Amino acid sequence: MDKSQHVREIYRLLQKLYPNPVSFLNYNSPYQLMVAVILSAQTTDAQVNKVTPLLFRNYPDPKDLMVSNLGKVEIIIRSTGFYKVKARNITGAAKKLVLDYNSEVPENMDELLTIPGIGRKSANVIRAHCYNKPAIIVDTHFSRVTGRIGLTDSSNPVKIENDLLLLTDNRIQTDFSMLINIHGRKFCTAGNPLCEECVLNSICRYFTMKSDEGRGFCNVYKSSLSENSLTDRMKSLYHYRQYLN
Which residues does the annotation mark as catalytic? 121, 139
Other CB atoms closer than 10 Å to residue 46's CB: what's the count? 10
81: left (phi over 0), alpha (psi -120 to 50) or beta: left
Scan residues 54-113 and list those touching ligand SF4 (CB under 6 A): none
Residue 188 in the binding site for ligand SF4 (CB under 6 A): yes
Q: What are phi and psi of 35, to 5 degrees?
A: -65, -45
Q: How many residues bind ligand SF4 (CB under 6 A)?
A: 14
Residue 195 in the binding site for ligand SF4 (CB under 6 A): yes
Scan residues 132-161 and list those touching ligand SF4 (CB under 6 A): 145, 148-149
Determine which residue in the list 40, 168, 201, 224 makes contact with ligand SF4, applying CB under 6 A. Answer: 201
Compute the least distance from the CB of residue 219 to ligand SF4, in Å. 22
Residues 6+ positions from 179 with CB-CB distance below 8 Å: 11, 14, 15, 18, 21
Scan residues 205-224 and list those touching ligand SF4 (CB under 6 A): 206-207
Query: Which of 192, 228 has the CB closer to ligand SF4?
Result: 192
Compute the least distance from the CB of residue 2 to ligand SF4, in Å. 18
Q: What are phi and psi of 159, to 5 degrees?
A: -65, -40
Shortest CA distance to 87 belongs to which of 132, 114, 51, 53? Answer: 51
Q: What share of the chain is helix, strand, coil (3-state, %, to 5)?
A: 70, 0, 30
Residue 179 in the binding site for ligand SF4 (CB under 6 A): no
Residue 200 in the binding site for ligand SF4 (CB under 6 A): yes
Single out the segment in contact with ligand SF4 by CB under 6 A; choices: 34-42, 129-137, 172-180, 190-198: 190-198
CA 159-161-163 angle, 5° bins: 65
Residue 182 in the binding site for ligand SF4 (CB under 6 A): no
Q: Using an 8 Å Cβ cutoff, are 243 and 220 in contact?
A: yes
Compute the least distance from the CB of residue 148 to ligand SF4, in Å. 4
Helix (H) or strand (E) holding 127: helix 120-131
Residues in the site for ligand SF4, rule: CB under 6 A? Answer: 145, 148-149, 187-188, 193-195, 198, 200-201, 204, 206-207
